[in-house]
Structure 1
Amino acid sequence: SPGACLPHQNNTVLYAYSTEIDSIPFVNGANRIINFARLYGIIANVRLDTKQEEEIEYHTDGKSLSDSIFSHQPDPSLGYEDTTTGSNLYNVLKKFLTNKNASICGAQVFLLLKRYPDESDVSDIISQLRANHVMVLIAVDSIPSGGSNSATLYEMSYQTNGYCLFATDSDLNNGFYFMTAILADPYQFLAQNFVVSGSGRIEVPPFKSPTPVGDEELCPFAITVQNRTLDNSFVSVNYTIGSTDGSFVYAFPGNQSLPLYGNAQTDGVYCNGSLSYTWIIDYHYNTDAPQIIQLRMYNSNKNDLGSTVACRPYQNNTVLYAYSNDIDYWTYSWAANSIFYYAYKNTTMAIVRFDTKQEEEIEFYSDAEYIWFLFLLLDLFISEKFLNNGKVSFCGAQVLVLAKRYPDKTDVSDIISQLRANHVMVHIAVDSVPSGGSNSATLYEMAYQTNGYCAFATDNALQKAFGWMTNILGFPYQFIAQNFVVSGSGRIEIPVFKAPLPPALDNSFVSMNYTIASTDGSYVYKYPSAQSYPLYGTAQSGYVWLNGSLSYTWTIDYHYNTDAPQVIECRMYSTYYHDFLPLPDF
């Protein structure tokens, strides 16, 4: 019965997509859902709008899910091949609601659509969805391939506390990507809808997240500004999410906020369980016709309701993920999911588990093969096998190492020389409470000498540090790599630079403060601040939005309580091509 359906039983996800949808949003959505499959009991998938209606397939493991999804990729030739036939979406949803394979209590349904349905009355389906607390989230191409009625799509998501995105091309891809991020934080704790017109302000009463008091965690959110494809009646929306004590303010639009994708904007704020928050929206439409603004917010806590000709950076198409057999499961899994998500950006992904009694071989995968469940790691000399693998190019490769055990070798200059000669960049996250081994210095040296970096941390800090480290795979072109040997207190001022856009800590460390600012004063990112991520172990990572028309400065104030030399590394990455940077003296 509905009364027996609670949010923590939210263990079924359905991914349904049109056979006519573009491959990029399909693949990105599929990878995202596969990555989060481990969090759910059952994941179901089905391809829509085929001449021969297909059956929903149900899976309890990521391997079978991946095999099923990628063997049923979008193929317009299997579709209706006309502009008049409506989507079969509602027929498929009826089957899902009466299935005998998975509980629908608290299920999440993700729809990626190219074709509108024709039905104008789906109240029976909506009633069943609501009775079972099924939440429907929809991304629909605003340039449809057929069908006549988009209003029921919005109504179905609206009535189930989901939301509906209307967008096309890259906006559809980006919007659906952030929509599926909700799978990591599935517990919705704010869902409000406002019918407005003209200009005005909405003030959501102070609210708290389900985050435990004293803790802080990410709260994804979404806002939609129209119940249809964005049209000329929409002028603007500006809003803030702020703590009532004034210590935190998120502003849209702003340098730190994601843009509007179609009719929806999604992002995340860090919620402190000790604080209350307000959400204030100023809206402007150039019509008095009613408009709907939806607000949604989620949480992970339960809530009862220098190049050579042969080697260029853009050929950076191989990634090696090597991890210690001793590493804890959650850190390993977190990173594996992140690396798998970025697999589509690289020609070859290589994986190996080290520190095993029986040394294991590196495995190589291509074409977004399902690799995360196979992730197998090793001793430092595994790099030699990678460099002499004979299977794939390692020009410009990226190596991500997750280590629990230190190596014993004190001289790895031969490996470093080969890495540098081939522009291989090594990033290492090493547990500062090792399971064995004697020499951590060579790990730092190898990362340093290849323009990567090495993070020493443990427990939750290790997990987060390596999670951020793997995000570099989405921004592979490094354009800042500088190192500074310092002691005592002082300041580092990095010379003015431009982005390549087209027109474990010990007691000697006291503090660090820095700014990244445009020289015209229009943009400043500060650390530490409410908008910046904290220091995880010895490393701090984050994002800044850089304008290709501007120049920037990076100013760092540091304080150590010793005169012994310390090394500060600065790294910055972009999605736009940039040549290899000079390596440090070796």
Structure 2
Amino acid sequence: MFCFAFYIARKLSVTPESLSLFNINQFYAKECFEQFKLSEDTSCSPSAYPSTLLFAYSNDFSPETVLDSFDDFIHSKKLLKYSWYGSVRFDTPNLDIRFHTNFDDVNATIQNNLPDPNQGFLNSSIGSNVFDFIEKFFSNAEAPVCGSIIYIFLKRYPNEADNSRLVSLIRSHHSIVHVTTSSTPSGGSQPKAMFSVASKTNGMGLVENDDYFGDVIRWSPLWLYPYPVYATTIQLSGSGTKILPDFFPAIEDTYIPAITYQDHFPDDSFQNLTLRWTNPRDTGIDGIEPVEVFNHWGGGNYENMNCNFLNVNYTMTLEYTYSDDTSCLPTDHPKTLLFAYSNDFSSNTILDTWTVFLKYKPNELYSWYGSVRFDIENMDMKFHTKIDDVNSTIANDLPNPNQGFKNSNIGSNVFDVIEVISYRDVTPLNRFQKFFSNKQAQVCGSTILILLKRYPDEEDISGLVSIIRYHHAIVHVITSATPSGGSQPKTMYRLTSKTNGIGFFEPDRLFYDVIEYGPFSNPYFRIYATNVQVYGKGEKNVPYFQPSSEGIYVIAITYQDHVPDYSFIDFNLRFTSLYGNDNFQSFRYGESDFWDDGNFMVKSIWFKNVTYGMTLDYNYRGQDVHNLQIRIYDFMPLDNWLPYSY
């Protein structure tokens, strides 16, 4: 079930009589006023431009994210017509809302009040205090709050599930709350609480990568089109057609329909939406495909469009498709393993790696085995059910330099192992061939293990990620520390990050060590996955961990997204609970050759069946950003699919 929000805005206000949206608000508000004894704020008019804009941002963001996002306000300040500007940094113990009538003053206030990790919450199990600053805003005696707009950048989820009182307060003042939530949250337990607040106050609940927050501001209904004239929220699942409330524009004009098509960061279940508006005098249509989401909107859950409407009543319909591969269950062990290896390796590297894998009796784990040699012109993927047959296939299909690419400038064709994609196709699922289109082996819940010697030249992995997630698959990549060509060293690491896999970097002669210590040697199920960006020295809270039962769990970490270098010093992943603490302390760089110069470490820890806060202490030389992967494995599966990390 997915929550779909549809919102139309325009440049100018209209009279209350012609705007059904405000009448809807007043109807719902009346119920809330009676429940919570709130009186309706009558100090503003629906035809007036909003007096106050409050810009609120979590202390858990980087200063760069806040500055880059607010920079779009600065560039558009001539379009802003608010009388008052407020700003507040929350997710700190002390909330200090500042108000100004001059835009330059609020800009200076934000510059002097950027996120500071030393002032934030130190435990990821602590929920955001976003509810608190909203209530504090409405009790201020300085700036008018009636008809105000609150724009929130949320990094940490609140722990409160019940938002009814907060919604009533916002509605009583005819305010609107827009929330942009980070796709990489820093803590809290209620991921949909603020999406719900936005939906119930005629705002928009966006979920986005931090890097694209500036784009969100640029396209949000804050300046040219601040007036909401239509808002509806519906629940969807599967595929079908939904009749939406009619839309009757007050005048012929340009309007901005805006849509959030999922109430969380988009996943592979979204296939397409088509919005139609019809009237005997005028008809319009617009749609959303996954490729548009990744190419234009940075992968978030939001899109808007620019449309001209006549002064007539439109019938509104929505055609939708949400789906995923339902041919396997999250409690099943993966049925299929695909072993894919570059032609640029030596034969010994391939044989040594596969031989170690055989030591752990994969015939007792998988029903199907696929193998393919890539970085050649013509790939031939083979599937077998018997381990002896796949052994023979690999032995007869070892790397051959005479069949490979002759130039190091040529990128790997590893993408073609998984899919062949053409964005010109209309139907999302007919874009993909190769592994996921094979008619022999089951692909749902499959594991793909790739030995990569040559980097690809492609940077865009959006289509690849979408099809892998659709089938609940997982990709692990072991990348050579001595690549043979290609131009994009981090593409495949990013692919593993977005499919809950692991991206290893290792000398060729030690690939077998990855098999020995990675999540391959036992029937491991992934139960926790998060990705973390760090630089320099500091600490970062990561999502908390709730073991399903008391026992031993395996924690795996990649501490650099490239061949390890001197910039890494050490890390310490701390687990804290009311019933005891533990930690995963790395070796300092150069102290031990146990991990053989790879970027991967693993440790087993006994956990109780309680909630553990998780904090990562890290220490790197220089200011380069490092993308870490943290994974936890168990011998027992989860009852539901583990959400993909971003």
TM-score, structure 1 as length reference: 0.44
Larger Rg: 2
Higher relative contact order (CA 8 A, sep 6+): 2
